[in-house]
Chain A
Amino acid sequence: MMLSENEQKIISFLKTKGVSNSQEISSATGLPPSTVFSNLKLLESKGLVKILKEERKKLLFLTEEGRKRLVEGLPEEKLMMVLGGQPRKIEEVKEKMKEDFEIALGWARKRGWIEIDGDLIKPIVKEIQAPERDSLRALSKGQGIDHASVELLLKRKLVERREDKILEVELIKDVEAKPVEIYLTHEMLVSGDWEKREFKEYNVEADPPFLPIGRTHYFRDFIERVKDLMVSLGFSEVSSDYVELEFFNFDVLFQPQDHPAREIHDSFVVKGKGRLPPGRLVEEVKKTHETWWKYRWSPEVASNLVMRSQTTATTSRVLSRSPGSPLRVFTIGKVFRPDAIDATHLIEFHQMDGLVIEEGFNFRSLLSILREIFRGLGVKEVKFKPGYFPFTEPSVEVYGYVDPLGWVEMAGAGLLRREVTSPAGVSEPAGAWGIGIDRLAMLFLGVKDIRDLYSSDIEYLRHRRVV
């Protein structure tokens, strides 16, 4: 017959007594009463034990305070420790004892362990042992204590009386308890010994202990998916730095220096000045701005530093190197904008910018590529709305249909203006777009709060389902 480890313990104890009760078994085996109780019921069902009587009795239990004091000592004992045989200032002792101070002082004086002299506490005795400690220890081992001690413990709220069930049982059938193995070992397999042994049956239906596994971050997975999509459409990935010259962030993109969107509250400023690129680009940009926007273009303003506010800055750097055609590049990265932080706004987020320079590239090709990108992202239906960006013309805003929200704005795009391409020496038609990635990710990943994309709660990350 298979017996659990606990059942075996109980059986071997009963073998020595024949008849016993659950309380006695608990103190003898060290098993908690509830465990003894359930195991006795199991043994009864296996026909090994007979339950003679089941009765309710008021019993003494250690309170939480009692259990604490059993381990840590009583307040007055701690007080004596703090004194360490020396007189000490009341204030100092109070500081160390905190909320235990009053009780400790009361009992220690009552027991004649200390005396108060001015602002000093003086120990009188050297060896101390509070009788309550012994009583607590005895009770915890299931031993009885005298009436006076019980009263004292009750008064100090170290124990309480609670009603509990007691089972009186008799061992009715002896069993040969075979040793039960936990592990099947290499040695057992070598010797063939395993045949003679019994192996413990596990509770295979219980939850396992926690094991942290290595996992990718769900938002970064989404970003990698977008990169794969762009590569599959023949685009090569490019990147640039977070700290950017206003020149590339704005001027090359035909954004006039007095444009409202260039005001200080629309981008994060970094101290210092950068160097404008050598060559004719700066001259050309200046000329274009002054001709059309009618103001004095300042190289000072253009060399200010900002945290890039659009990944189009990367596109603008690519353009400034006068790339040849055909060209398809994309970038996906962080942009920074001062904004109040809430469930839908953060001061940094991702954009995916794309750039196509191809002979014969036109507005229709641009719309076609945009539809393809959104198809790849899982947006089945898109619609195009005329839009405005300083650096593109014709311009378009892309809306995608998402259940249950309806039409959601997803991207801005257009053919690059000549005012942007010609200063860079690019003569073929070029198309560009910017897509806000965080908002798209929120829609697809079912995230309601943008801050969850950058969650600092590891349990949140551990619990996210992989999609």
Chain B
Amino acid sequence: MPTINLNKWILLEKVSLSEGQLKEFLFKLKSEVSPVSDDEYSVEINADRVDMLGLGGVVRALKGISGKELGEPKYTVKETDYMLVIDKVPQRPYALACVIHNVKLSPEAYLKEMIQFQEKLHETIGRKRKKVAIGIHDLRKIKSKTIRYSLVSTNDKIVPLGSTVPMTLSEVLRETEQGRKYGEISLREGRMPAIMDSDYNILSLPPVINSEETRLEPNTNSLFVDVTGTSLDAVSQTLDILATNFAELGAEIGAVMIKESEGTIRKSPLLTHNRLRVSLKEIESILGIKLSQEDAKRFLEMMREDVVIGDGVLEVVIPPYRVDIMNVTDVAEDIAMAYGYENFALNEVKVYRVGSLAPKSSLYRKLRTLIIGAGFQEIYTLILTKSTRQVGEIVQIENPISQEYDSVRNSLIWNMLTFMSNNQHARFPVRVFEIGEVVLRDSTTDTGYRNFFRVSIGVMDSKVSYESIQAPVHEILLALSGEKPEYKRTVNDVFMRGRTAEILLKGRSVGVIGEISPVMLNKFQLLYPVALAELDVDALLEVI
């Protein structure tokens, strides 16, 4: 969940709320607020509400939910004589822009907040600048009224933000942190997109870096905002959110004409208003509450949307900053939030049918009752384990966080031996068991892997015998199946030769049993003998 920091005094003053009210209303808006210092709040914003990643959006939402202002604010858009000319930029085809007048960037908290907003939009809707990138310039420092969005060569020069000397674009990509981080995104065959003035001075290199020449100052009053990207929807949504958030804080939006190479001209920002017709009945059936049309309208206005009431139908005008609203369920949620989740009258839960445990859970319970009766302590170990502890084919994790957990267990034996190894100083005997799942290859499933259900039962003591584990296993299987298990001599790497067998039930192999070989004990740094059995519960399920 994204988190933003906001100046406490500016926020409280803008929304005219007490701290307590602020907390309460943000909670209703899916957000949580906590102080980071005497002057600053940290606010958690849910990923769907990208408009609330900036102060303007938070203020607008709070004014609505607290009932201080209702409906969509009417922000005026002034004509300007700025134009953005777009050339063919195949790797990043879309660009829009706008001008912002009367912007407030001081005290410093405002400028800081604006940069944070830009970065949060880059992270979320911008998909780390791959899908959308934003450039913000001091309008006064741009020398022409016509701005170009075009491809430039990496031999061209720019004074990157934070530098004093001109650098070639290849140098910028190599030597600046931004260049190294984002340089590859839109670089194709030595060419990359740039925003330029009419004299071909590079103002910014989306999505990498801006030019030092249009750097923002505390006294900057007007901005030129460019948004570029790979999806027109995302580019337009981003600019709409930026422009309306500036406007909410008192600035004025200026339109920029966009001229594309095909000759089409449109006015930016688009400030898209979608309309959604929803039936009140449907909202009621989604939420399970009764609403009058007027209530529903007011609730949506509290969420800063305009509504036109028809006959049983609400026409919701979705404001440009609410890019998360897709269909009636989103409208229903907005109504529910304004109605207040705490105001839902809860009912008693009716049970229509009897519930049931999965067959595996039922068998788990039977098995564990029997094994506990035989005097074993249940243990519970992790599924992920160290691959070098395991024997046989294993499922390897491609991106482990440590070698200790770089594979998925293929047997419960290794976890049990590790457990025993950790408990050599405990009071003896150590008699333990585990019931759980392991993962093995299985070509019949759609993933090529499957969970297998196993049981391990083991004893460690100063002396152990084959019978010390065979006797309890024998009685457990007998109790479970009513059949006498049989044992077939076998040879393997885990157990001692002549002291290990395959366990058969009704002729089917259901597990292995034996005394662990000294080589294997050594591998687990075990200095006491261990006898154990591992049962295959899937096989057991088929024969009992």
Query: With an 8 A cutoff between CB atoms, is B234 at the interface?
Result: yes
**Interface residue tally on A, bucketed by range:** 35 or more
The reply to whether A364 and B329 form a contact with Cβ atoms under 8 Å apart is no
Q: Which of A409-466 contact B (CB under 8 A)?
A: 415, 417-419, 429, 453-454, 456-459, 461-462
The reply to whether B347 and A364 form a contact with Cβ atoms under 8 Å apart is yes
Which of these binds chain B: A153-161, A200-208, A263-271?
A: A263-271
Q: Which of B28, B124, B349, B432 lies in contact with A458, CB distance below 8 A?
A: B432
The reply to whether A457 and B423 form a contact with Cβ atoms under 8 Å apart is yes
Which residues of B lie under 8 Å from residue A347 when comparing CB positions?
384, 401, 405
Digitize B70-85: 1 where CB-to-A-CB distance is under 8 Å, 0 elsewhere. Answer: 0000000000000000
Q: Which B residue's beta carbon lies closest to that of A370?
A: B346
Which of these binds chain A: B96-104, B178-186, B331-339, B516-524?
A: B331-339
Q: Which of A179-206 contact B (CB under 8 A)?
A: none
Query: With an 8 A cutoff between CB atoms, is B175 at the interface?
Result: no
Which residues of A lie under 8 Å from residue B341 when comparing CB positions?
367, 383-386, 396
A385 vs B123: C-alpha distance when bound (angstroms): 25
A272 vs B448: C-alpha distance when bound (angstroms): 9
Known pairs A347-B405, A362-B285; A215 contacts B378 (CB<8 A): yes
Q: Smallest Cβ distance from B24 to chain A, in angstroms?
A: 11
A113 vs B354: C-alpha distance when bound (angstroms): 89
Query: With an 8 A cutoff between CB atoms, is B218 at the interface?
Result: no
The reply to whether A274 and B332 form a contact with Cβ atoms under 8 Å apart is no
The reply to whether A362 and B427 form a contact with Cβ atoms under 8 Å apart is no
Which of these binds chain A: B106-114, B366-374, B482-490?
A: B366-374
The reply to whether A394 and B333 form a contact with Cβ atoms under 8 Å apart is yes
A142 vs B286: C-alpha distance when bound (angstroms): 94
Known pairs A243-B408, A270-B395, A458-B430; A231 contacts B357 (CB<8 A): yes
The reply to whether B384 and A336 form a contact with Cβ atoms under 8 Å apart is yes
Which residues of B lie under 8 Å from residue A217 when comparing CB positions?
377-380
Q: Which A residue's beta carbon lies closest to that of B372?
A: A214
Q: Smallest Cβ distance from B425 to chain A, in angstroms?
A: 9
The reply to whether B30 and A415 form a contact with Cβ atoms under 8 Å apart is no
Q: Which B residue's beta carbon lies closest to that of A456?
A: B422
The reply to whether A462 and B344 form a contact with Cβ atoms under 8 Å apart is no
A348 vs B355: C-alpha distance when bound (angstroms): 28
Q: Which B residue's beta carbon lies closest to that of A238?
A: B358
Query: With an 8 A cutoff between CB atoms, is B330 at the interface?
Result: yes
The reply to whether A363 and B46 form a contact with Cβ atoms under 8 Å apart is no
Known pairs A212-B427, A363-B287; A348 contacts B353 (CB<8 A): no
Known pairs A234-B354, A457-B423; A363 contacts B431 (CB<8 A): no
Query: Which of A268, A269, A271, A457 is the most central at the interface, judged by chain B CB atoms within 10 Å of its CB?
Result: A268
Query: Which of A239, A264, A453 is the most central at the interface, judged by chain B CB atoms within 10 Å of its CB?
Result: A239
Q: Which of A295, A364, A383 lies in contact with B287, CB distance below 8 A?
A: A364
Q: Which of B327, B337, B400, B449 lies in contact with A241, CB distance below 8 A?
A: B449
Digitize A336-349: 1 where CB-to-B-CB distance is under 8 Å, 0 elsewhere. Answer: 10111100001110
Known pairs A348-B382, A454-B382; A362 contacts B286 (CB<8 A): yes
Which residues of B lie under 8 Å from residue A368 when comparing CB positions?
346-349
Q: Which of B124, B430, B449 lies in contact with A270, CB distance below 8 A?
A: B449
Query: With an 8 A cutoff between CB atoms, is A133 at the interface?
Result: no
Which of these binds chain A: B142-150, B207-215, B247-255, B439-447?
A: B439-447
A235 vs B355: C-alpha distance when bound (angstroms): 4
Query: With an 8 A cutoff between CB atoms, is A233 at the interface?
Result: yes
A233 vs B349: C-alpha distance when bound (angstroms): 8
Which residues of B lie under 8 Å from residue A360 when comparing CB positions?
285
Which residues of B lie under 8 Å from residue A114 when comparing CB positions?
none
Q: Which of B47, B336, B399, B427 lies in contact with A269, CB distance below 8 A?
A: B399
Q: Smallest Cβ distance from B3 to chain A, in angstroms?
A: 14
A242 vs B448: C-alpha distance when bound (angstroms): 12
The reply to whether B423 and A338 form a contact with Cβ atoms under 8 Å apart is no
A326 vs B353: C-alpha distance when bound (angstroms): 9
Q: Smallest Cβ distance from B442 to chain A, in angstroms?
A: 9
The reply to whether A265 and B423 form a contact with Cβ atoms under 8 Å apart is no
The reply to whether A461 and B377 form a contact with Cβ atoms under 8 Å apart is yes
Q: Smallest Cβ distance from A405 to chain B, in angstroms?
A: 15
Q: Which of B337, B374, B419, B427 lies in contact with A386, CB distance below 8 A?
A: B337
Which residues of A lie under 8 Å from residue B396 when comparing CB positions?
270-271
Query: With an 8 A cutoff between CB atoms, is A107 at the interface?
Result: no
The reply to whether B380 and A274 form a contact with Cβ atoms under 8 Å apart is no
Q: Smallest Cβ distance from A104 to chain B, in angstroms?
A: 28
Which residues of B lie under 8 Å from residue A295 when comparing CB positions?
231
The reply to whether A212 and B429 form a contact with Cβ atoms under 8 Å apart is yes
Which residues of B lie under 8 Å from residue A348 when comparing CB positions?
382-384
Q: Which A residue's beta carbon lies closest to that of B432?
A: A458
Query: With an 8 A cutoff between CB atoms, is B437 at the interface?
Result: yes
A457 vs B446: C-alpha distance when bound (angstroms): 38
The reply to whether A338 and B355 form a contact with Cβ atoms under 8 Å apart is no
Q: Smallest Cβ distance from B450 to chain A, in angstroms?
A: 6
Query: With an 8 A cutoff between CB atoms, is A227 at the interface?
Result: yes
Q: Which of B102-137 contact A (CB under 8 A)?
A: 123-124, 127-128, 130-131
Query: With an 8 A cutoff between CB atoms, is A289 at the interface?
Result: no
Query: With an 8 A cutoff between CB atoms, is B509 at the interface?
Result: no
A326 vs B360: C-alpha distance when bound (angstroms): 23
Q: Which of B289, B398, B422 lies in contact with A457, CB distance below 8 A?
A: B422
The reply to whether B445 and A241 form a contact with Cβ atoms under 8 Å apart is yes
The reply to whether A234 and B395 form a contact with Cβ atoms under 8 Å apart is no
Q: Which of A370-421 contact B (CB under 8 A)?
A: 371-372, 383-388, 393-396, 415, 417-419
The reply to whether B46 and A387 form a contact with Cβ atoms under 8 Å apart is yes
Q: Which B residue's beta carbon lies closest to that of A399?
A: B27
Which residues of A lie under 8 Å from residue B294 when comparing CB positions?
none
Query: With an 8 A cutoff between CB atoms, is A232 at the interface?
Result: yes
Which residues of A lie under 8 Å from residue B368 when comparing CB positions?
216
Q: Which B residue's beta carbon lies closest to that of A387?
A: B30
Which residues of A lie under 8 Å from residue B356 when comparing CB positions?
231, 236-237
Q: Which B residue's beta carbon lies closest to that of A270?
A: B395
Q: Smallest Cβ distance from B487 to chain A, in angstroms?
A: 24
Query: With an 8 A cutoff between CB atoms, is A286 at the interface?
Result: no
Which residues of A lie under 8 Å from residue B35 when comparing CB positions?
none
Query: Which of A217, A271, A457 is the most central at the interface, judged by chain B CB atoms within 10 Å of its CB?
Result: A217
Q: Which A residue's beta carbon lies closest to that of B334?
A: A394
Query: With an 8 A cutoff between CB atoms, is A100 at the interface?
Result: no
Q: Smallest Cβ distance from A455 to chain B, in angstroms?
A: 8
Query: With an 8 A cutoff between CB atoms, is A148 at the interface?
Result: no
The reply to whether A215 and B377 form a contact with Cβ atoms under 8 Å apart is yes
Which residues of A lie under 8 Å from residue B233 when comparing CB positions?
294
A307 vs B398: C-alpha distance when bound (angstroms): 10
A461 vs B379: C-alpha distance when bound (angstroms): 8
Known pairs A260-B123, A328-B353, A461-B379; A292 contacts B28 (CB<8 A): no
Q: Which A residue's beta carbon lies closest to that of B335?
A: A394
A230 vs B354: C-alpha distance when bound (angstroms): 10
Q: Smallest Cβ distance from A98 to chain B, in angstroms?
A: 20
Query: Which of A219, A227, A347 is the most central at the interface, judged by chain B CB atoms within 10 Å of its CB?
Result: A347
Q: Which of A232, A235, A272, A395 lies in contact with B333, CB distance below 8 A?
A: A395
Query: With an 8 A cutoff between CB atoms, is B165 at the interface?
Result: no
Which residues of B lie under 8 Å from residue A242 when comparing CB positions?
383, 408, 437, 439, 449, 451
CB<8 Å pairs between A and B, sample of 24:
A212-B375, A212-B429, A214-B371, A224-B365, A231-B355, A234-B351, A234-B355, A237-B357, A241-B447, A241-B451, A243-B449, A364-B289, A383-B341, A383-B342, A385-B27, A386-B333, A393-B332, A456-B381, A456-B419, A456-B423, A458-B419, A458-B426, A459-B427, A462-B377
Beyond known contacts A243-B449, A260-B127, A365-B288: 5 more, CB 8 A cutoff? A212-B377, A237-B357, A242-B383, A348-B384, A458-B377
Ordered nearest first, which 10 A-B pairs have the shortest CB separation? A364-B288, A362-B288, A394-B333, A214-B372, A231-B355, A388-B46, A234-B351, A217-B378, A243-B449, A384-B341
Q: Interface on B for A, CB 8 Å cutoff? A: 27-30, 46-49, 123-124, 127-128, 130-131, 231, 233-234, 285-289, 326-327, 329-330, 332-333, 336-337, 341-342, 344-349, 351-358, 360-361, 365, 368, 371-384, 395-401, 405, 408, 418-419, 422-423, 426-427, 429-432, 437, 439, 445-451
